[in-house]
Structure 1
Amino acid sequence: MKVQASVLTAPRQDWQTVTLELAEPQAEEVLIRVEYAGLCRSDEHRRHGGTGLGGRFPLIGGHEGAGVIEAVGPGVTRFKPGDHVVTSVLPSCGTCRYCTSGRSRLCDYSAHVPTGEMPDGTFRARLDGEPIGGFCMVGSFADHIVVSQASCLKVEKWLPLDVAALLSCGVPTGWGSAEHIGKVQLGETVIVIGVGGVGINAVQSAAFAGASHVIAVDPVAFKRDFALTVGATHTAATIEEGAELGRQLSHGTGADVVIVTVGVLTKEISAAALEATGKGARLVLTATADDASDINVCLPGNRVSLYSVSVLGSLIGGCNIHYDIPRLARLYGEGKLKLDELITQRYTVDQISAAYADVRDGRVIRGLLEHKHS
């Protein structure tokens, strides 16, 4: 079948809208009619050739997504046509050592993420006859995709598909960065640096966990103001201002948890984030950079060791998609997690370049691609 998609043909080239040829699903694969795709900063990192994944071009953009199963291949046991699903930023085979030990975010299938190929090493889409994969084995910037059943998760039909798309990546990554990695506790002081589509959910999570003070740091005023509506108690335009607020509010001890969710991580940001921590604090690094070789975490060892600060990496917020996404959906249904409000602007497939300009310029919390189906 022919599908419309936004793709990257080479590093540092602009997004292009193209027509792809899509094959039928093979063994343990499903065909999804994609309705919505979230515009995560990671796709823009890929445009710059980064995120540390290596990989190949051309590449279909998009990893946050939600849609409807239209067909299944032989051996599919998790889904049937008509099921509503969200795509997963990383696959979960369910049988490798990482999946069976509760760390599905590290699934062995993730070895195929850089190229976007299927677990068997082949591709289902072609651009002008050339095989093309989807970012993170997904490619939700196409209106139909064929993916491994390991790369999606069934959701209940009461959950609107536009907000469901956000549960693919941005929401669990931010929420889990506070809950699972930062382990925010009742009464603590938390600083979230960068409150876009990921960081804003760290704010929600920290507030839900009972943090006494949740300080949202962002240079964009509208993001700071929005953070106050979803759980932030204070805001600051710079990390230094946020750090000072943290010291004041904690009576001089400094923040218990600092979560870094900026668009592009630099060594200056990581160093400033460390200075915002107090004794025994947790510094959570969720943000990434364009250049995989960039040394963007450069910290004084004495400050880390003598203050007993834990520096923690956060991949999808330490979430298990099969446990956390349904749980977050329930919190949304109960009115305890805001999702609709996160969608600042909606775009069509031929507006991806403009959409990412809005992301880079700080004009959106989360942009959403809405596929038009006839």
Structure 2
Amino acid sequence: MKARAALLWEQPGKWQVMDVDLDEPGPDEVLVEMVATGLCHSDDHMAVGDVPLPHLPYCGGHEGSGIVRQVGPGVRTLKAGDHIVTSFVPSCGACRWCAGGLQNLCDNGARILTGAQLDGTFRMRADGKDVATMSMLGTFADRQVFDEQSCIKVREDVALDVACLVACGVPTGWGSAVHAGEVGVGDTVIVIGVGGVGINAVQGARYAGARHVIAVDPVAFKREKALELGATEAFESIAEAADFGRGVTNGQGADTAIVTVGVIEGQNIADGFNAVRKAGTVVVTSMGSPLTTGVPVNLFEISMFQKRIQGALYGMGSPRESVPRLLDLYADGLLKLDELVTRRYRLDEVNEAYADMHAGRNIRGVIDFRH
């Protein structure tokens, strides 16, 4: 069958929207008509070359939602007509990590940068060449074939053009505060970078009962949105935020600092480390280059002050638990999703959307395939 998709043909490069060939769903796979996909910074890392790709051409996108239109042999949990949200880690449910409630660390995660499906083959072709997909998904396409393990069935009374946000940005940010940061009632929390992920760390920290949720971002628009969505204070620099955090904690420092900048450097982690109190936690959520190493932290403080640096993938939550729960919170008015969407774009506008992201004009852009 035919589909229309945004592909990357070189690194660095621009997304090229074109017609592609798509296979029918095979065993344990489903064909999904895409309704929407969020424009996450992680996909842009591929376009600018922050993360080397093993295979080109490449279909981006991993924050998707849609409707199942066809199921292949052996599919047990989905049927035609079901609404789904994608999972960028295809959780098997049987490995050590899944069995221990850590679906975000499923052994299948080792394959998500290969560009191929679980069986090592491809479902999409362009100009006669196999097309790799982001995280075994490739949601920058108006229809796509996914493994059943990459799909989470969701309630049908939530609009899919906002439900797509709980595929990545929302649970990653929310969980960075609630799970990884273990934010508690009365805490002081600093969120460094309040884009599509950080803004949800703000929401999560506020929901968990933090007294001070301090947002840090050089872009005024993002600071304003953070204050609308739960931040109690907002500053342009981490230096100002750290000073304020010490000022409201008798000089001790914040309980938790969450690093959610767009492109992380070791200094960002060091800034969070210097801003937290004894036994405080620095949550590192931002994705960096696998070729970059080094964090300039004080080695005396890390042991003698008992500080903790905690990495967080998918907010340290399990996709099949987090996605339905967050949509329930949204339905109950306890989580804001509509307010996260700054603008909706057509697929043909994907490069414009990322230009807006780089310019600081978006909290989250969404491609709406219905337009």
Q: Give the TM interval when normalised to the shorter protein.
A: over 0.9
CA 171–296 in structure 1, closer or farther in 2 if over 3 Å, else same: farther
Offset at residue 58 of structure 1 (A): 1.2
Superposition pairs of residues 15-30 of structure 1, within 5 angstroms? 15-30=15-30
For residues 147-173 of structure 1, the C-alpha deviation after alignment (integer angstroms, 9 at most, x for no partner) is 100001000100110111000000000
- SS of corresponding position for 2:5: strand
- SS of corresponding position for 2:131: strand
Offset at residue 191 of structure 1 (A): 0.2
The equivalent of 2:99 in structure 1 is: 100
Offset at residue 54 of structure 1 (A): 4.7
The equivalent of 2:296 in structure 1 is: 298
Pick from 314, 317, 322: which aligns with 1:316?
314
Contact 1:265 1:296 in 2 (8 A): no
Contact 1:35 1:371 in 2 (8 A): yes
- SS of corresponding position for 1:369: strand
Offset at residue 38 of structure 1 (A): 0.2
The equivalent of 2:283 in structure 1 is: 284
Q: Matches of 2:180 and 2:54 in 1, distance apart? A: 28
Q: Matches of 2:59 and 2:13 in 1, distance apart? A: 13
Question: Which stretch has the larger CA shift, 300-309 or 326-335?
Answer: 300-309
Contact 1:270 1:296 in 2 (8 A): no
The equivalent of 1:166 in structure 2 is: 165
Q: Matches of 1:204 and 1:338 in 2, distance apart? A: 8
Aligned residues: 371
For residues 179-212 of structure 1, the C-alpha deviation after alignment (integer angstroms, 9 at most, x for no partner) is 1100001111000000111000100010011111
Offset at residue 353 of structure 1 (A): 1.1
For residues 59-80 of structure 1, the C-alpha deviation after alignment (integer angstroms, 9 at most, x for no partner) is 1010000000000000000100
Could you state the TM-score of these two structures normalised by the residue count of structure 1?
A: 0.97
Q: Matches of 1:42 and 1:7 in 2, distance apart? A: 15
- SS of corresponding position for 2:167: coil
Q: Matches of 1:252 and 1:147 in 2, distance apart? A: 51
- SS of corresponding position for 2:113: coil
The equivalent of 2:207 in structure 1 is: 208
- SS of corresponding position for 2:76: coil
Contact 2:29 2:147 in 1 (8 A): yes
Offset at residue 261 of structure 1 (A): 0.2
The equivalent of 1:3 in structure 2 is: 3
Q: Matches of 1:301 and 1:257 in 2, distance apart? A: 19
Q: Matches of 1:145 and 1:112 in 2, distance apart? A: 18
CA 94–179 in structure 1, closer or farther in 2 if over 3 Å, else same: same
Q: Matches of 1:298 and 1:92 in 2, distance apart? A: 35
The equivalent of 1:235 in structure 2 is: 234
Pick from 339, 355, 360: which aligns with 1:362?
360
Superposition pairs of residues 1-374 of structure 1, within 5 angstroms? 1-51=1-51, 54-289=53-288, 291-295=289-293, 297-372=295-370
Contact 2:245 2:275 in 1 (8 A): yes
Contact 2:61 2:139 in 1 (8 A): yes
Offset at residue 115 of structure 1 (A): 2.1
Contact 2:65 2:86 in 1 (8 A): yes
Over the residues paired in the alignment, what is the CA RMSD in angstroms? 1.2
Q: Matches of 2:54 and 2:202 in 1, distance apart? A: 32
Question: Which stretch has the larger CA shift, 199-208 or 102-111?
Answer: 102-111
Offset at residue 336 of structure 1 (A): 0.5
For residues 185-244 of structure 1, the C-alpha deviation after alignment (integer angstroms, 9 at most, x for no partner) is 111100000011100010001001111100000001111111111111111100101101
1:119 partner amino acid? L
Q: Matches of 1:246 and 1:295 in 2, distance apart? A: 28
Identity level (%): 48
Offset at residue 246 of structure 1 (A): 0.5
Question: Which stretch has the larger CA shift, 248-257 or 171-180?
Answer: 248-257
Q: Matches of 1:75 and 1:92 in 2, distance apart? A: 17
Contact 2:32 2:145 in 1 (8 A): yes
Q: Matches of 2:90 and 2:161 in 1, distance apart? A: 21
